[in-house]
Structures are given as C-alpha cells and as structure tokens.
Amino acid sequence: MSKQTHSFQAEVQQILHLVTHSLYSNKEIFLRELVSNASDACDKLRFEALDNAALYEDAPNLDIRVFFDADAKTLTLRDNGIGMSAEEAVAHLGTIAKSGTREFMARLEGDQKKDANLIGQFGVGFYSGFIVADRMTVETRRAGLPADQGVRWSSTGTGDFEVEAIVKPERGTDVILHLRDDEAEFLSTWKLKSIISKYSDHISLPILMKKEEWDSEAKQQVVKDEWETVNKAAALWTRSKSEVTDAEYQDFYKQISYDSEAPLAYTHNRVEGRSEYTQLLYVPAKAPFDLWNRDKRGGVKLYVKRVFIMDDAEALMPVYLRFVKGVIDSADLPLNVSRELLQESRDVKAIREGSTKRVLSMLEDVAENQKDKYAEFSRQFGAVLKEGVGEDFANQERLAKLLRFASTQADEGVAFADYVSRMKDGQEAIYYITAETLAAAKGSPQLEVFRKKGIEVLLLTDRVDEWMLSHLYEFDGKPLQSVAKGAVDLGKLQDEAEKQLAEEAAEAFKPLLEKLQAALKDRAKEVRTTTRLVDSPACLVVEDGAMSAHLARMLKQAGQAAPSAQPILEVNPAHALVKKLDDAARFDDLAHLLFDQAVLAEGGQLEDPAAHVQRMTRLLTA
C-alpha cells in the first residue's frame, strides 16, 4: 500500500481543536489515556486468544513500554497487544462513531474548568496526545497478520492524516509523540515515572521503562539499556484490603470512572461459597451527566480470573444502581463468557444479588453514620434509587428506608421512618402529594386542612414518584394516601363536631351544588363540599385508584395518551366566593372561574385560556 492521505471526520477535527487548545492546564493526562489504551489493547488480545492461542505468536508475555529520545524529542508508548490492521487504523484513528461526540464538544466548550476527565468519559483519549505533540505517528500490526501488513498512521492533528504500509515484525502498537519544543519536561524518566505512579499504578500489566542511574564520572543521570517495571502491576482488587490505602482506593476509582472527585463510599470484598468472586464497588459523590440514560452502562467491569472480559456488564448490577462504578472478578465464570451467557447464568444471578445487597448495605451505613454525606447522595441519586422500588421487589423494603423526601416540615431529607415517628395520635396513614415543583406542592390547596391540624404531608416532586407509588403501597404497616385523591378522611383526627358541621354544610349547599354540576357538566364529574379547604374556595381531586392529574400531565408532555377522566370539584362552603355564587347574576361565569382557579392552583393548564380571559373581563366590567 502506497502512502495515502485521508481527511478526518468533521467531528474529529473539532475535537482535536478543542483538546489541543482547551486542556493545556492538564497536560499530563495524555500519558494516562495512552497507557489506558495500551492496556485495553492487551486485554483484547488476551480475550481473542482464548479461542485462538496462535495470536500470541512468539510473545505470550504482555507488557507496555514507555521510552523517549531526548535528541529527537520523541516519546513512545509500545504495547504488544492486539494491534490494528490498515482498515482499523483508518476507522479507529480517523473517525468517531459515537453518539456523544457533540455532547462532549458542548461540555468541553462550556466548562470553565476545562475538565480533562471528559476525555476519558467520551472515549477520545487517543487525541489527547496532541496536547503535547505537534505530530503523532502510530506504527501497528494486528495479531495474526504477516509482518509485511503493518501500517504507519501519521498526522499533525489538523485536517488530515497519512497511512502507509510498513514491515513490522512484532505485533502490537507503537504510539510515537513528536513533542513540541516547550514540552521537554516529558523527556524525563523521573517525570514519566511520577505520572505513571499517579495515574496508572493500578494497571495489571507491567509498565516498563529503561533504568536510569547516576554516572559519577559524567556527573549526570544515564539511561541504561535495561528495562524495569515502574508500576505495581497487580490488579488492586486482588490485593488484601489491609495492603491497600484509602488514597490508593480513591486513585483507582478516579482512573476507572474518569471522575476528578473522591467517591462517596466504596466496598471491597472477596465472596466465597457457591460463587466465588471479588468485588470492588464505588458510589460516586456526584451524578454523571448521563444518569437518566437507562441504556447507558459501563459502571461495572467484569473480569474472569483477572482477565478483562467486558466494560459494561449490565447483568451484574440492576439498572437503578447504574451509577455504581467498580470491578467484579469471578473465579467461576468461563473465560469466553458472552453477554448472552451472562443473562442466563445462575452464577451471574448470585453475583448480581450479592453485589446489590453489598451496595445497599454501603448506603445504609452512610445513611446511619454520615448523614450529611447521605443527604448529598440523596440529592444526586435519590430519584434513580426510587426506580428500584418497582424493579427490585426483593429489596423494596430496604430501598424504601433509604429514600428521602421533602415535606411540609422540611424541604429535604425526610425518611419514611422520620415521618412515622412524628405521626399524630390517631393518624393511620402516611399522607403525600405529587407536584411538578416544590413550590407547587407547598402551595396546593389540598394541604390546607392538614396544615391547620399540624399533620405532616410528604411533598413528592420527582418525575419518577408517581411510578414508584404505583408499586409502594405502605411503609411499616402504614398505608400511603394521596391528599388529592378521594374524599378527605382524617379518621380519628377529625372530631364528631367537625363531621356534623360538614354533613350540615353538604345538605344546606345541595341546591347550589346541583347548579354548579349543571354549569360544569362538561368539565367536572362531580361537585361536592369538602373539609380539606381552609383558605381556598375550591380544589380538584380524583377518585381513589384513578390517575392523578400530575401523572396525566406528564404523560401528555411525553407524547403518550392519558385516560380522559373528569376531575371532582370540591368547594369550600365557608369561602366568600362560594357564598357569593348563591345570588350571582353571572352564575355560569363565576362557576367556570371557580373551576379555572382550581386547575391553576394544582399546577395545571387551562384548555381554553381565551375563554377564561373573556369571563374575567365580563366580571370585572359588570
């Protein structure tokens, strides 16, 4: 193959520009990314060689070598992993077939801190080499191909790249960085060792560099033609907990998660019994940008007998714990395990159940002993945890205890157990209301009688709450009851005198209720008096078991069909506006205005705003 010139994909050109010009303050991450890529290439070789041992050729020992030429100003990273064919070099190094490319660019352009961790998150780590290099050359040959089918890829990181055939006796890849004149600091054994120690110490392959010794005659450091391992070269999770420091655990987390912050909590265990496996699992301190993408995985890496198998082993962790990062290394699974086998394996099911329980135990410990930390966790991940209430029935009770809500007594951090401990004598239910925002929930007229009597109500404003409540009916034997469904029933909290007055008001208002029902026959299923209102003239409720207005609105916003059911209009017989209806000359206008007010008070939208304005105009000018 003669030398060929190709143009970069348009998105790659943009990324190259951003990486080169935006991440200059985080230069050293280029080495982390290239070492990580080299490690991945060796992992892929080991995996493919499970079915074809000939891919090892005559070099079964895998390693990564880092060396430099101070005179030529080049830094080389060499691995003897899977390598690339000419087609793969063009495809992998010239295009990015990744849906998140645009989002990566938007995040990098908008992030004032120019977060270098985005590089790893979006899988564009190779291009980080251009942070320090004005040219990159890649010499590679795929394992199994003859020596004359090597390929050289070269680019200055601008609009195009060149590809040509070369003879490469050894399989694997050399990434050669032609450093800029002002990047001489990376032509130092000490500097490179310190970066590798900082970012890549956990890599299970040996990372080799040439020894450097002091020459007393020349009075300078001299690089020897002898290789030494500069990382621990032992997978961190295989070491005893007593041998690993907290700093090492945190550094490892940052490497596998591309997170710049320390994790909220972690757990490291070796599980023995029917299934043997090691787990090292982390809960992040902050939610990732793609938390709500339920199809996005990649949190837990699967190893079998220390051989990397896959990055996004979704079968090992339930979807609602997709934020958990870490490693699971099984001693029982077959080395050639596939995704399909993972879904069906009994051993995988045992690992999944054990890992889920371990994560929940970790969260319970934080909730009990580090309340401030757990409050932040709840802000970041509480809504996702609610998904588990409906998806993981076996752990539903444990999950319910971990949930935190706002209430009429606190804007956040209220557990079901807290609520139950504050229930009034005679209170039989846990009351709640759902709304789009905390302000809308707090201002709901349905809360008025509960405030008057000092009864706490949970204020649920996450979009997942309605779905969660369709699976969670009680806590600690106390039923969950919406204050916006059915007739208000405070049970023993309502005395006989109040019940008597309510019955008398309902009887006295019968003629007016019938007139309202006739005027609003196309909008309200029923009109009735209520004791739930104190300051407001009216409110809307639905029947027990019916879909709430909040859920119906969310379904419509999502483009889904919602059952068309008319609400119930409840009126406050003691309110001046309701009393005025009895002798109003414009009864129909006032009746519809009353209904419109109730719609707006619960956060709904008027179906005919123009008609509402016309009624208001007629009433104000009458």
Cross-strand partners of 405: 414
Instruction: Please state the length of the chain.
Output: 622
- For the domain bounded by 236-376, which CATH number is listed? 3.30.230.80
| The dihedral formed by the CA atoms of 11, 16, 19 and 22, expressed in degrees to the nearest 10 | -90
At 122, phi and psi to the nearest 5?
-100, 10
pLDDT of residue 107: 52
CATH 3.40.50.11260 is the classification of domain 403-492: yes
Q: What pLDDT, in 10s, does the model give residues 6-26?
A: 887 766 666 676 666 655 456
pLDDT, mean of residues 42-61: 91
pLDDT of residue 562: 65
H or E element, residue 4: strand 4-7
Q: Which residues of 62-85 are buried (b: 16+ CB within 10 A; e: fewer)?
A: bbbbbbbeeeebbbbbbbbbbbbb
For the beta carbon of residue 106, count every other beta carbon within 10 angstroms: 11
| Span of 44-48, 175-179, 184-188 with lowest mean pLDDT | 44-48
- Enumerate the H helices of 226-334 as residue ranges: 246-257
Secondary structure of residue 22 in the 3-state scheme: helix
Structure pTM?
A: 0.69
Secondary structure of residue 493 in the 3-state scheme: helix
User: Percentage of the chain surpassing pLDDT 70?
Assistant: 84
Secondary structure of residue 514 in the 3-state scheme: helix
Confidence of residue 79 (pLDDT cuts 50, 70, 90): very high
As its CATH architecture, domain 497-621 has Up-down Bundle (1.20)
Token digits of residue 134: 């004005």
Confidence of residue 252 (pLDDT cuts 50, 70, 90): confident
Q: Is residue 112 over pLDDT 60?
A: no
| Span of 120-124, 148-152, 562-566, 579-583 with lowest mean pLDDT | 120-124
pLDDT, mean of residues 420-448: 90
> Residue 9 gets which letter from DSSP?
P
pLDDT, mean of residues 491-520: 78
pLDDT, mean of residues 585-596: 88
CA distance 380 to 387: 14
Handedness of CA 186, 189, 195, 199 (dihedral sign): positive
CA distance 15 to 21: 10
Confidence of residue 294 (pLDDT cuts 50, 70, 90): low
Q: Confirm if 516 and 489 have CB atoms less than 8 A apart.
A: no
Confidence of residue 119 (pLDDT cuts 50, 70, 90): very low
Looking at domain 4-229, its CATH superfamily turns out to be: Histidine kinase-like ATPase, C-terminal domain (3.30.565.10)
pLDDT, mean of residues 293-312: 74
H or E element, residue 267: strand 265-271
Secondary structure of residue 264 in the 3-state scheme: coil
Q: In what order do the strands lie in the sheet with 265-271?
A: 265-271, 277-283, 325-330, 300-304, 307-310
User: Percentage of the chain surpassing pLDDT 90?
Assistant: 41
Q: What residues does each domain of the chain span?
A: 4-229, 236-376, 403-492, 497-621
Confidence of residue 431 (pLDDT cuts 50, 70, 90): very high
> What's the start-to-end Cα distance of the chain, in Å?
90
- Say if 4-229 and 403-492 have the same CATH topology: no
CA-closest candidate to residue 578, choices 605, 602, 606, 597: 597
Q: Is residue 430 over pLDDT 60?
A: yes
Q: Is residue 110 over pLDDT 70?
A: no
Confidence of residue 172 (pLDDT cuts 50, 70, 90): very high
Q: Is residue 554 over pLDDT 70?
A: no
Confidence of residue 421 (pLDDT cuts 50, 70, 90): very high
Q: Is residue 97 over pLDDT 50?
A: no
Q: What is the mean pLDDT of the chain?
A: 84
CA distance 587 to 616: 13
Confidence of residue 436 (pLDDT cuts 50, 70, 90): confident
